[in-house]
């Protein structure tokens, strides 16, 4: 589209609104404002116009202001006085006048009765080329007016978690487009998990966007998403929706997610109980075996159907046995692991303490094994008050028992 066509027909620049839904109320909690342009009977996205850096900055800023003003007029007249208003801004353009023109527009509408606590300023961190500290200062200043900050497109392109942490956004928007690909690398899930941990640390809400299928909505729900957006829920439209537009449908879908999750938790509990009982019997059977290397050799043969590595550590994380490792259906003792320390691993000491108090085993979450790259879980079990058994379960075993979910 020729930028001059847009600039000479600014009356055809209009906003569209894409609804954002919540997990806790199952209703519309806000809208992202999107720029559109009427061409005859068609309406086209202004996304390429805003993203084209060859177009003069003042052109893009002027069109942005028109879209925003028309949208704010609409929200002032709407029947939902609490809906959040997500407004996209190019952080590079925003910094040209340190957000002054944007803020003055908002203050103008505040005087008309619009609460600035409804405004969510949405920026894309990885497109910003300036001083990230200066941007952080500006966003902090914006917050003094009640404006919330969202960082967009996380997970779609390279994002720097340290920079995101510095900006301290109120909302992190995670793009789920990658999830629709037929072969998604496990590292992608790990990155999203890291982002969810960051969100928890900085007190940010997770908003999953680009949801175009039920399984993406379920993924977002399972991975800490409070807000959801995408074509599966609602396409951008020239009008606002009723607050309860999808309330009943979302309630039913989330009920299915809950039932599925409860079934998964029951499966994991069953696996844990099974190993608890098996190990109680086995350790009683081999209670006279005092040499730890000899003990793990006996256990390996007994548990060959379900695991590929066994070892014993003390309460401080020092390995008190070798590893016994299953390679090509044969068990091999690996003495080089003796006295290695694993207390640096996340949750290691915490799990030791839990096992000591409960006097029972613990099944870990899913993770990628450092050496094999395989997706596994580890079952840990207290032998006595000072020594703990670690059993790495195979992916095949987990798959057969639905414990990979």
What is the model's pLDDT at position 170? 96
| Over residues 400-405, mean pLDDT | 64
Specify the CATH number for 3-231; select among 3.40.50.970, 3.20.20.450, 3.40.50.720, 3.30.310.80.
3.20.20.450
* Residue scoring higher pLDDT (150 or 401): 150
Mean pLDDT score of the chain: 92
What is the model's pLDDT at position 257? 96
Whether residue 178 has pLDDT greater than 90? no
Token pair recorded at residue 5: 């066509």
Give pairs for 249-258: CB < 8 Å, separation 24+.
Answer: 250/21, 250/26, 251/26, 253/214, 253/217, 253/218, 254/23, 254/26, 254/221, 257/218, 257/221, 257/222
| Over residues 71-88, mean pLDDT | 94
What is the model's pLDDT at position 386? 94
Q: Write a three-state SS string for the chain.
A: CCHHHHHCCHHHEEEEEEEEEECCCCCEEEEEEEEEEEECCEEEECHHHHHCCCCCHHHHHHHHHHHHHHHHHHHHHCCCCCCEEEEECCHHHHHHHCCHHHHHHHHHHHHCCCCHHHEEEEECHHHCCCCHHHHHHHHHHHHCCCCEEEEEEECCECCCHHHHHHHCCCEEEEECHHHHCCCCCHHHHHHHHHHHHHHHHHCCEEEEECCCCHHHHHHHHHCCCCEECCCCCCCCECCCCCCCCCHHHHHHHHHHHHHHHHHHHHHHHHHHHHHHHHHHHHHHHCCCCCCHHHHHHHHHHHCCCCEEEEEEEECCCEECCCEEEEECCEEEEEHHHCCCECCCCCCHHHHHHHHHHHCCCEECCCEECCCCCCEEEEEEEECCCCEEEEEEECHHHHHHCCCCC
What is the model's pLDDT at position 26? 96
> What is the pLDDT confidence band of residue 11, given thresholds at 50, 70 and 90?
very high
What is the model's pLDDT at position 403? 54
Q: pLDDT above 70 covers what percent of the chain?
A: 96
* Nearest CA among 239, 227, 256, 171 for reference residue 25: 227
Whether residue 342 has pLDDT greater than 90? yes
Whether residue 187 has pLDDT greater than 80? no
At 284-332, the pLDDT tens digits run: 999 999 999 999 999 999 999 999 999 999 999 999 999 999 998 899 9
CA 367 vs CA 20, 214, 264, 320: distances in Å? 32, 25, 17, 23
* Nearest CA among 66, 9, 11 for reference residue 35: 66
> What is the pLDDT confidence band of residue 336, given thresholds at 50, 70 and 90?
very high
Neighbour tally for 200: CB within 10 Å: 11
* Nearest CA among 55, 44, 41 for reference residue 13: 44
- The structural domains of the chain, with segments of one domain joined by +, span 3-231, 274-400
Q: Which residue has the tokens 């978690």?
A: 161
Whether residue 184 has pLDDT greater than 70? no
| Over residues 215-221, mean pLDDT | 95
At 29-44, the pLDDT tens digits run: 999 999 999 998 899 9
What is the model's pLDDT at position 320? 97
| Over residues 171-181, mean pLDDT | 87
> What is the pLDDT confidence band of residue 182, given thresholds at 50, 70 and 90?
low
> How many Å apart are CA 262 and CA 256, to the nearest integer?
10
Neighbour tally for 294: CB within 10 Å: 12
Whether residue 89 has pLDDT greater than 80? yes
User: 274-400 has which CATH code?
Assistant: 3.30.450.20
Whether residue 210 has pLDDT greater than 60? yes
What is the model's pLDDT at position 34? 97
| Over residues 386-397, mean pLDDT | 93
Whether residue 404 has pLDDT greater than 80? no
What is the model's pLDDT at position 398? 85
What is the model's pLDDT at position 185? 63
| Over residues 246-256, mean pLDDT | 96
What is the model's pLDDT at position 250? 97
At 109-165, the pLDDT tens digits run: 999 999 999 999 999 877 788 899 999 999 999 999 999 999 997 765 555 777 888
> How many Å apart are CA 211 and CA 174, to the nearest integer?
10
> How many Å apart are CA 253 and CA 117, to the nearest integer?
30
């Amino acid at each position: 589209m020729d930028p001059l066509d847009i600039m000479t027909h600014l009356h055809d620049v209009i906003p569209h609104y894409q609804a954002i839904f919540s997990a806790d109320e199952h209703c519309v909690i806000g809208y992202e404002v999107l720029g559109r342009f009427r061409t005859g009977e068609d309406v086209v996205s202004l996304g390429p116009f805003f993203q084209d850096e060859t177009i003069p900055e003042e052109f893009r800023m002027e069109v942005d202001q028109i879209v925003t003003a028309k949208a704010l007029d609409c929200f002032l007249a709407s029947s939902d006085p609490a809906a959040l208003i997500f407004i996209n801004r190019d952080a590079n353009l925003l910094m040209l006048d340190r957000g002054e023109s944007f803020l003055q527009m908002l203050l103008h509408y505040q005087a008309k009765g619009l609460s600035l606590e409804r405004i969510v300023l949405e920026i894309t961190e990885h497109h910003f080329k300036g001083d990230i500290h200066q941007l952080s200062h500006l966003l902090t200043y914006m917050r003094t007016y009640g404006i919330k900050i969202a960082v967009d497109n996380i997970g779609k392109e390279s994002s720097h978690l340290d920079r995101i942490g510095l900006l301290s956004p109120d909302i992190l928007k995670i793009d789920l487009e990658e999830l629709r690909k037929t072969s998604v690398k496990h590292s992608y899930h790990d990155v999203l998990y890291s982002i969810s941990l960051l969100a928890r640390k900085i007190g940010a809400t997770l908003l999953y966007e680009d949801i175009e299928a039920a399984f993406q909505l379920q993924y977002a729900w399972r991975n800490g998403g409070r807000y959801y957006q995408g074509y599966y829920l609602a396409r951008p439209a020239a009008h606002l929706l009723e607050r309860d537009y999808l309330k009943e449908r979302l309630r039913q879908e989330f009920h299915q997610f809950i039932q599925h999750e409860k079934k998964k938790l029951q499966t994991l509990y069953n696996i844990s109980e099974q190993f608890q009982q098996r190990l109680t019997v086995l350790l009683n059977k081999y209670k006279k075996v005092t040499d730890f290397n000899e003990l793990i050799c006996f256990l390996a043969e007994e548990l060959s159907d379900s695991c590929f590595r066994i070892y014993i550590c003390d309460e401080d994380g020092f390995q008190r046995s070798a590893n016994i490792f299953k390679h090509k259906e044969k068990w091999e003792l690996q003495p080089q692991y003796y006295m290695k320390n694993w207390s640096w691993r996340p949750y290691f000491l915490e799990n030791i303490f839990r096992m000591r108090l409960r006097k029972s085993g613990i099944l870990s979450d899913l993770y990628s094994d450092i050496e094999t790259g395989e997706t596994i879980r580890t079952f840990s079990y207290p032998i006595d008050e000072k020594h703990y058994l670690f059993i790495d379960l195979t992916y095949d075993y987990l798959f057969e028992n639905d414990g990979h979910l």
